């Protein structure tokens, strides 16, 4: 006889000062909790944000004359932000109003729905849209990427409840404050309307579960219904709750799991037959959570239960201080449970299997059921549980894709590495770094994430992306970024010439003890003159010269320059840069090519003389273009200006400089600024 597993280890606990009866929301590294004071005449609510890693408080947001009806997470790709979409309903017709908000992890509201309603349902985020029912009579579509502007309203022929609509393949399934369930297309056409011929008090007011061909919903008086998805026709109904409300439903492997007045029931989705029940002393009113072969559920008897999915046998239980009305929530780093009194506990998450042994050993029918379960979780937007199940089944690519949708970028990167998908891995690590950038993590944590992404892009050979990541490393570690430009006099082999150079610090920290010298056998150089440089501050230039003597001649002789410096932490750095210069032979003097403007003249001085509008600094403009555009994006700008990409340098920074030269001399800089402002409106051009 096998020994039942012990409870999952506890990572941290936190105690809040108000009731919790809605599921907490995980977005990024933040845990958002909807708080509600106790009592029958509650009018004001509150949002509490905690650090997901240790439960430490981050911020609070009071809600006057309003309570939270539901929350959903969304990753805003156009701003690289995790947001929490929070819907509220008014508690006072005269003073309050419901709304839909988008909160960042720092507690800022970046948009608020303009729809004026007293009540909003819990939101459903699907296919880059937010769906809520407003005022019980309207299905409202909100675009979270366009400042929350409402895109579409559909008038409903029923009174919707405050549970979230289910959105699957262009159809909204609307739970109702009546014995009805509505299926309506997102363009407004009604597909079907199911009406239960029973008590008018038996509302179908919970979010339904949608599978490939069935719709499952539970009633407020304990009946479980299965409807044909295509027609809304009743397939079967089963009384499991003995006249009391059921929890929201969970579906896995063709089985419906539902909390009821005195425990948990597993019901066969094909025919409504009760497969097993797990008894409890009080109701299970929160949605059960299925992970692998275990069901986690919370009860009003103060216990968190882990049950064997196949039989309902108890594996372990953990007692909380108060009754638990919120379901367990799975985060990338924890399994979270909150009781009504405000106590929060974070268990270690169930581990992801390293090898898909279960899938290989499972009989064919079980394997088919598990795949169907993963498909259903994926369709419902339960990305983390779907990812874990795809991993268990050995479909690593789908597991990684679901982890990305859950913004679990580091976990996705590990799987992409297993699959030798290095481009995917680099992208995932970059997205992880972007997430940390928007969060309250230390500069070193941000720098380490960007450094990891830079190494990944180095493996793929994507130079521009690697350089961008390295620049972010420099930003958070306050490091200098040095570039060098040269102005070479006409040179002849074995004759000393003057090499003027400009070192520019485009980074974020001071470069100390700077030294520039030449390397190799092609040139002999004197480095002593540069030793007078003590520090080079960010955004400063240093102009100096070297005496050099060429030992080879030709139209394009490589000149190797070495830049040595220390950063603010006294760490030593050495950069090597190669420039190509013309060197005449002793018998055939050679002039420098007149077209090599960026090598034969002091670029900073040339740019300073450009006719720029409003006294604008062309070097600053160049730096901003390099910071906010990659090469491909700048080429698109060049083509929009009617110019030829081949007329300019192939690398990003020289390309930007040459474009500015070209346009300034033709009084066309304003055209460039207009395009830059349109493409990057958040930058002060």
pLDDT digits over 240-251, tens only?
A: 988 899 999 999
Of the candidates 421, 324, 304, 327, the one whose C-alpha atom is nearest the C-alpha of residue 382 is: 327
Contacts of 317 (CB under 8 A, 6+ apart): 7, 303, 304, 305, 306
Per-residue pLDDT, 60: 94
What confidence category does residue 595 fall into, taking pLDDT thresholds of 50, 70 and 90? very low
Residue whose structure tokens are 């992208």: 427
Evaluate if residue 655 carries a pLDDT over 50: yes
Per-residue pLDDT, 2: 41
Which pair of tokens denotes residue 452?
């990891």
Exposure class string for 296-325: b at 16+ Cβ within 10 A, else e: bbbbbbbbbbbbbbeebeebeebebeebbb
Of the candidates 119, 140, 116, the one whose C-alpha atom is nearest the C-alpha of residue 129 is: 140
Contacts of 638 (CB under 8 A, 6+ apart): 644, 645, 648, 655, 659
Q: What Rg, from alpha-carbon coordinates, does the chain have?
A: 32
Strand partners, 59: 49
Please give the average per-residue pLDDT across 466-472, as a whole number: 92
| Cβ atoms within 10 Å, residue 500 | 15
Evaluate if residue 201 carries a pLDDT over 50: yes
Contacts of 646 (CB under 8 A, 6+ apart): none
Strands 482-488 and 99-104: unpaired
Phi first, then psi, for residue 264 (nearest 5°) are -125, 140
What is the Cα 337 distance to its own chain's centre? Answer: 24
pLDDT digits over 77-123, tens only?
A: 767 788 999 999 998 877 778 899 999 999 999 998 877 888 999 99
Contacts of 27 (CB under 8 A, 6+ apart): 73, 74, 82, 83, 84, 105, 407
pLDDT digits over 220-234, tens only?
A: 999 999 999 999 999
Report the chain's mean pLDDT, rounded to a whole number: 84
Per-residue pLDDT, 600: 34
Please give the average per-residue pLDDT across 418-437, as a whole number: 89
Which pair of tokens denotes residue 402?
């679901």
Q: How far apart are alpha carbons 382 and 69 in whole angstroms?
A: 19
Q: How far apart are alpha carbons 327 and 337 in whole angstroms?
A: 7
Please give the average per-residue pLDDT across 595-624, as a whole number: 61
Of the candidates 379, 369, 168, the one whose C-alpha atom is nearest the C-alpha of residue 269 is: 369
Give, to the nearest 10 degrees, the angle between helix 409-418 and helix 422-437.
Answer: 170
What is the greatest pairwise CA distance in the chain? 108
């Amino acid at each position: 006889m096998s020994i039942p597993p012990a409870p999952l280890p506890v990572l941290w606990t936190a105690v809040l000062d108000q009731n919790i009866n809605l599921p907490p929301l995980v977005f990024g590294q933040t845990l958002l909790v909807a708080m509600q004071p106790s009592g029958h005449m509650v009018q004001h609510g509150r949002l509490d944000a905690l650090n997901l890693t240790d439960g430490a408080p981050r911020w609070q947001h009071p809600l006057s004359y309003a309570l939270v009806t539901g929350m959903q997470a969304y990753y805003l790709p156009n701003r690289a932000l995790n947001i929490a979409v929070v819907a509220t309903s008014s508690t006072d017709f005269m003073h309050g109003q419901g709304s839909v908000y988008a909160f960042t992890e720092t507690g800022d509201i970046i948009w608020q729905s303009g729809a004026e309603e007293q009540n909003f349902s819990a939101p459903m985020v699907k296919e880059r849209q937010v769906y809520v029912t407003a005022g019980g009579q309207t299905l409202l579509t909100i675009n979270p990427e366009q400042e929350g502007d409402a895109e579409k309203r559909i008038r409903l022929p029923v009174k919707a409840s405050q549970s979230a609509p289910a959105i699957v393949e262009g159809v909204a399934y609307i739970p109702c404050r009546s014995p009805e369930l509505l299926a309506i297309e997102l363009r407004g056409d009604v597909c079907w309307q199911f009406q239960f011929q029973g008590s008018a008090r038996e509302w179908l007011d919970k979010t339904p579960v949608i599978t490939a061909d069935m719709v499952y919903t539970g009633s407020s008086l304990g009946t479980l219904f299965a409807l044909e998805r295509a027609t809304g026709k009743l397939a079967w109904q089963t009384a499991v709750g003995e006249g009391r409300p059921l929890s929201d439903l969970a579906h896995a492997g063709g089985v419906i799991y539902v909390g009821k007045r005195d425990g948990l029931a597993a019901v066969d989705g094909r025919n409504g037959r009760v497969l097993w029940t797990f008894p409890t002393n009080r109701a299970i009113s929160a949605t059960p959570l299925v992970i692998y072969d275990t069901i986690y559920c919370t009860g009003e008897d103060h216990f968190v239960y882990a049950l064997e999915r196949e039989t309902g046998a108890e594996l372990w239980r953990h007692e909380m201080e108060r009754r638990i009305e919120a379901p367990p929530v799975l985060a990338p780093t924890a399994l979270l449970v909150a009781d009504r009194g405000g106590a929060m506990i974070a268990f270690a998450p169930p581990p992801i299997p390293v090898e898909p042994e279960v899938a290989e050993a499972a009989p064919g029918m079980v394997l088919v059921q598990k795949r169907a379960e993963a498909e259903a979780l994926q369709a419902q937007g339960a990305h983390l549980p779907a990812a874990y199940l795809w991993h268990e089944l050995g479909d690593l690519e789908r597991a990684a894709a679901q982890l990305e949708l859950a913004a679990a970028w580091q976990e996705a990167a590990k799987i992409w590495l297993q699959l030798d998908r290095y481009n995917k891995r680099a992208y995932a690590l970059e997205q992880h770094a972007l997430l940390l950038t928007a969060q309250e993590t230390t500069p070193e944590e941000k720098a380490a994430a960007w450094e990891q992404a830079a190494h990944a892009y180095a493996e793929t050979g994507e130079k521009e992306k690697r350089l961008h990541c390295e620049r972010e490393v420099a930003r958070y570690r306050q490091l200098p970024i040095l570039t060098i430009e040269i102005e070479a006099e006409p040179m002849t082999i074995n004759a000393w010439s003057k090499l003027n150079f400009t070192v520019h610090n485009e980074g974020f920290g001071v470069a100390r003890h700077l030294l520039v010298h030449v390397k190799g056998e092609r040139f002999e150089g004197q480095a002593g003159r540069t030793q007078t440089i003590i520090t080079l501050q960010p955004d400063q230039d240093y102009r100096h010269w070297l005496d050099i003597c060429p030992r080879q001649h030709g139209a394009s002789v490589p000149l190797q320059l070495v830049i040595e410096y220390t950063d603010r932490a006294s760490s030593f750095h050495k950069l090597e840069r190669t420039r190509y210069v013309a060197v005449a032979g002793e018998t055939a003097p050679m002039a420098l090519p007149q077209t090599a403007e960026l090598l034969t003249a002091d670029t900073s001085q040339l740019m300073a003389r450009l006719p720029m509008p409003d006294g604008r600094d062309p070097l600053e403009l160049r730096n901003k273009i390099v910071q906010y555009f990659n090469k491909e994006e700048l080429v698109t700008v060049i083509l929009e200006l009617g110019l030829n990409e081949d007329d300019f340098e192939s690398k990003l920074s020289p390309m930007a400089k040459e474009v500015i030269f070209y346009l300034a001399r033709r009084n066309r800089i304003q055209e460039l600024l207009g395009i830059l402002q349109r493409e990057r409106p958040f930058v002060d051009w």
